[in-house]
Amino acid sequence: MTAAQTLVAGANEEAQYLEDLIRHGHLLPSGEPGIYGRGVVFEHVRTSLDALITRVCAPDHPETPRFPPVIPKRTLEKAGYLTSFPQLCGVVYSFCGNDASAIEIAERAERGDDWSRHLSPTGVTLVPAACYPCYPAVALRGPLPKGGITLDLGGCYVFRNEPSQDPARLQMFHQREMVRIGPPDEVHSWRETWIRRARGIFETTGLDATIAPASDPFFGRKGKLLANNQREQGLKFEALIQIASERPTAVSSFNLHHEHFGSAFGIQQHDGTVAHSSCVGFGLERITLALFRTHGIDVRDWPGQVRRQLFPEDTPPGE
């Protein structure tokens, strides 16, 4: 099979899987690629997966702050997100015109014309990764306690401007993220613990996941050096599962930041040195889609062990 034929076959497979998901009411189309509502059964599986991760996370005794799905643009800039992912960023725009502009925007919308020129950027962006709001918040608390802190940020909505017909590549999805901030050796050990925990989660839910070194998509010549450095130092690993596309999809990531966020936001350890950090993220919709893809579109057909792991105290959806 040629490369072109492989791409066509992959696109057909994605389209077929998306059609199956919609036909069974798991995804509810909005008319915009990558933006879907979720059916009752899909949401039950997703929230059950979220609860499973909570049980696995319990030994860490994490703090559980919650943040809204928007952050100041300055936070995104300080975090360095635009160095790696400017194409995914979503800035919030809003109307700030006069009465005449308000009338014109309504008339344009009624005619189906472009009305966006009457909007201006606000001071906030949509959150692209659940960990970003926590760093300035932690910095405001002053020096960390001895040993640092662990945060469970929950499974909040994040946005990435990446429209696609691949059902596993959504523009708005839930990212379950945990963060460790503190001494470098403890941060590194925590990241390694979560790689082992993630393997356990995938094994007990019957998913064939490969955890491999990865790098962010930096841009330009300097970006290639940064990406190579990231791989060589083992700063980023991803869990990859074959869902619908030709290549495996990253469903989870395990990242060491060293002093990056500590320096950017002024987070200090108890002794005044810059704190190190690590984050672990799970794409809840992607893993849910992998479960349907692996075990079947009807939850009632799933293996008993998988159902017991995900639904330990209630009747699985659809029964």
List pLDDT tens digits, range 69-83: 999 999 999 998 988
More confident call, 235 vs 205: 205
CATH 3.30.930.10 matches 11-90+128-310 = yes
Q: Among 9-23, 185-199, 282-296, where is mean pLDDT lowest?
A: 9-23
List the chain domain ranges: 11-90+128-310, 92-125
The pLDDT confidence band at residue 222, using thresholds 50, 70 and 90, is low
Could you please report the per-residue DSSP string of the chain? Answer: --HHHHHHHHHHHHHHHHHHHHHTTSEEE-SSTT-EEE-HHHHHHHHHHHHHHHHHHGGG--B-----SEEEHHHHHHHTHHHH-GGG--EEEEE---HHHHHHHHHHHHHT---GGGEEEEEEEE-SSTTTTHHHHHHHT-SPPTT-EEEEEEEEEEE-----S-TTS-SEEEEEEEEEEE-HHHHHHHHHHHHHHHHHHHHHTT---EEEE------HHHHHHHHHHHHHTT-EEEEEE--SSSS-EEEEEEEEEETHHHHHHT-B-TTSSBPEEEEEEEEHHHHHHHHHHHH-SSGGGS-HHHHHHH-SSSPPTT-
In this prediction, residue 216 carries a pLDDT of 66
